[in-house]
A and B are shown apart, each in its own frame.
Chain A
Amino acid sequence: MLLRLVSGDLPRSRVLAGVLVAILVGLAAAPFLFPGTRSLEVAAKVAVFVLLVASYDLLLGYTGIVSFAHTMFFGIGGYGVGLAMAKLGASWGALALGVVAALALSLAVALAIGLLSLRVRAIFFAMITLAVASFFQILASQLSALTGGEDGLSFRLPELLRERLVAYYLVLGVALACFLALLRVVNSPFGRVLLSIRENEFRSEAIGYRIVTYRTAANCLAALGATVAGILYAIWLRYTGPDATLSFNIMVDILLMVVIGGMGTMYGSVLGATIFVLAQNYLRDLMKVASGALEGLPLLPALLHPDRWLLWLGVLFILCVYYFPTGIVGRLRR
């Protein structure tokens, strides 16, 4: 049963299995274990980002494609719910319409980008997606009559979802289900083809797999995953806006999470997202203490200033790319 649930892809390391179970239990019991709004916000963010990062890992880690448009799909999900709720009113019908419209739009855009630019080299695809994503960001902030511009949209949800606990378990349940679905995808024959494309594109083509088709399919699946994550995030925050979903900073965050957790391992996204979100929320407190303790020394307090937490994660990121290409998970599985 458990084996089927994780598609035969076991953690293959006692420590990793322990950590994963701890994270799962922690998330499932978060409202009771860690009371307080801040910790619930952190737990929900972890759940959403696990899905977002796992879907990105399908592209980066499993297929070897670098895309910078992942936040765009995240944003499409957020704005799909946001627009439907804000313009059509807080009904279940409107929510469903928003969700379906967002998924359809993401699929169409991902298909178009994939077919137009996945034929060319990896670098080209990275640049094209960067341009398209920034175009989308400009669109969202300029069409202020529709999207609320830089301020974004705050909206009301249907009655039931206004209950924080219900919303939390909806977010967690959907994120977990999608994560398991992604695990199923990467462990299927289709996933094996993606791996073979990552390892040797030319050879996969020679064996008879149309790599453009497979890459485009992976791109579409990843886009759908990101859209679902965006939908969940908007439902949780009851808000959507350029800084919450579309900004380039979030793209950088996703990259950090994937690489630190471990590229090409779905479990890496769980670890990466958890570590990153925890660091984002609690590392600053720690650094504030450290920076205060080193008061008076040259440069060190500035390096440990609470706003510089990203610096240290960036350093960790670079070290990971050089020395641990499969991140923490790869290290634990050794």
Chain B
Amino acid sequence: MSRDWLPLALVPVIALAALPLVGSAPTWLTLTVAGLAMGMMIFMMASGLTLVFGLMDVLNFAHGVFISVGAYGAATVLTRMRPQMEAEGLASDLSAMIPAVLAAIALAAFLGWFFERVLIRPVYGDHLRQILITMGGLIVFEQLIHVVWGPDIIPLPRPGTITGSFIVGEAAIERYRVLAVIVGLVVFAGMWLLLSRTRIGLLVRAGVENLEMVESLGYRIKRLFVGVFVAGSGLAGLGGAMWAMYQEQVNAQMGAQVLVMIFIVVIIGGLGSVGGCFIGALLVGLLANYTGYLAPKVALGSTILLMVLVLLWRPRGLFPIGKA
């Protein structure tokens, strides 16, 4: 997608720059893995948002709802699966986790379909009303989550196989974080292959560059819209489920809480760019963990500072996309 490698170097540069500041190598390793895991989860949650924006020029402020709904979906399945969760062994854990994650994706994707169909379709091309409508969707669906699942925070136990940590040298690395990194890489690789190697990916990329041209070549762009929106929502649901298991609890505001971070990532990466979103998510995840260790009070402030610096360097994000 891009032959511009400079922003890619930012990730190792930040990681290496943090090493002398943190001081001890084991702590640094722990923090780096934690940062990468957090980055991967943010990427899953943010990638749908940036694709939807790139293709359809819609900025969905209700994206956080898909995250929350995914988390609740996973929580509902996992609490039903208590026997499997409590049984020892990988197989039984997986038999609880996989349906939970699938439920999260399905629920969020269905909600995404509904959202596109009912709320967003009438206001394509009108930014002001889009922002307002999606804000309204955020309010209503957050309240509906309360109606369906109740107002209380739901605790979410993790299966035994992925709790605890293992020791590398002197560094303790949580198993769940490794899992998050693996899942994130798989999602990224899958998306990359889909976008760069398939016909659908070709159409999506072409649509991001010039929508009218794709339409005039005879492709039904509306179907593509729905597909991308549903896929993006599903990914947000997956990210929400992973995030909830990471936090070990679910509440209705969690989507809105991570939304600011997701926006920062999407802006840093360049609106519409999946690669930029990936790099941005890793940067934000790493930085949040390093500053969380070095100066906890300014942790979220640091990511906003990063955004400002990136925008001063490249006003349209790390990997700007065709449309201005």
Q: Do A and B bind each other?
A: yes
User: Chain A interface secondary structure, helix, strand, loop or mixed?
Assistant: helix
Q: Does B221 contact A (CB under 8 A)?
A: no
Residue A66 at the chain B interface, CB threshold 8 Å? yes
Residue contact A311 to B144, C-beta cutoff 8 Å: yes
Is A121 among interface residues, defined by CB-CB distance under 8 A? yes
Contact of A322 among B122, B256, B260, B304 (CB under 8 A): B122
Which residues of A from 303 to 331 have beta carbons under 8 Å from B?
303, 305, 307-308, 310-311, 313-315, 317-318, 321-322, 325
B314 contacts across to A, CB distance below 8 A: none
User: Which residues from B are CB-within-8-Å of A310?
Assistant: 139, 143
Partner of A127 from the list B59, B119, B301 (CB cut-off 8 Å) is B59
Cβ contact within 8 Å between B140 and A321:
no
Q: Which residues 242-264 of A sit at the B interface, judged by CB distance below 8 A?
A: 248, 252, 255-256, 259
Q: Verify B256–A248 contact, CB threshold 8 A.
A: yes
Q: Which residues of B contact A325 (CB under 8 A)?
A: 129
Which residues of chain B in 118-163 are interfacial with respect to chain A, using CB atoms and an 8 Å cutoff? 119, 122-123, 127-129, 131-133, 135-140, 143-144, 146-147, 151
Min CB gap A98→B, angstroms: 25
Q: Which residue of B lies closest to A142 (CB)?
A: B297
Contacts of A60 in B (CB 8 A): 128
Contact A134:B260 (CB < 8 A) given known A127-B267, A307-B151, A308-B147: yes
> For B127, what are the chain A residues with a Cβ–Cβ distance below 8 Å?
121-123
- Closest Cβ of chain A to B294, distance in Å, is 15
B263 within 8 A of A: yes
Q: Contact check, B300 vs A134: say whether CB atoms are below 8 A apart.
A: yes
- Judge whether A314 and B143 touch: CB under 8 Å: yes
**In contact, B139 and A252 (Cβ under 8 angstroms):** yes
CA A313 to CA B122, docked complex, whole Å: 21
B contact residues around A255 at 8 Å (CB): 132, 135
Closest residue of B by beta carbon distance from A134: B260
Q: How far is the CA of A59 from the CA of B182 in the complex (A)?
A: 45
How many A residues are at the interface, by size bracket? 35 or more
Taking a contact as CB atoms closer than 8 A, the residue among B132, B140, B256, B307 that contacts A259 in the complex is B132
Chain B residues with a Cβ closer than 8 Å to the other chain, count: 36
Chain A 45-69, CB-CB to B under 8 Å as 1, else 0, gives: 0000000000000001000101000
Question: Does B244 reach chain A (CB closer than 8 Å)?
Answer: no
In the complex, residue of chain A having the shortest beta-carbon distance to the beta carbon of B57: A123
Residue A130, interface by CB 8 Å: yes
Say whether B119 contacts A318, CB under 8 Å.
yes
In angstroms, how far is the closest chain A Cβ from the Cβ of B149?
A: 10
In angstroms, Cα B122 to Cα A310, docked, is 24
Question: CB of A33 within 8 A of chain B?
Answer: no
Does B147 lie within 8 Å of A303, measured CB to CB? yes
B245 touches A (CB below 8 Å)? no
Known pairs A66-B128, A135-B300, A314-B139; A123 contacts B147 (CB<8 A): no
For A303, list chain B residues within 8 Å (CB): 147
Q: List 19 A-B contacts (CB under 8 A).
A: A60-B128, A66-B131, A120-B315, A122-B127, A122-B131, A123-B53, A123-B59, A123-B271, A124-B267, A124-B271, A127-B267, A131-B263, A131-B307, A138-B301, A252-B135, A252-B138, A252-B139, A255-B135, A322-B122
List 6 A-B pairs, minimum CB-CB distance, nearest first.
A314-B139, A311-B143, A314-B140, A318-B136, A317-B136, A142-B297
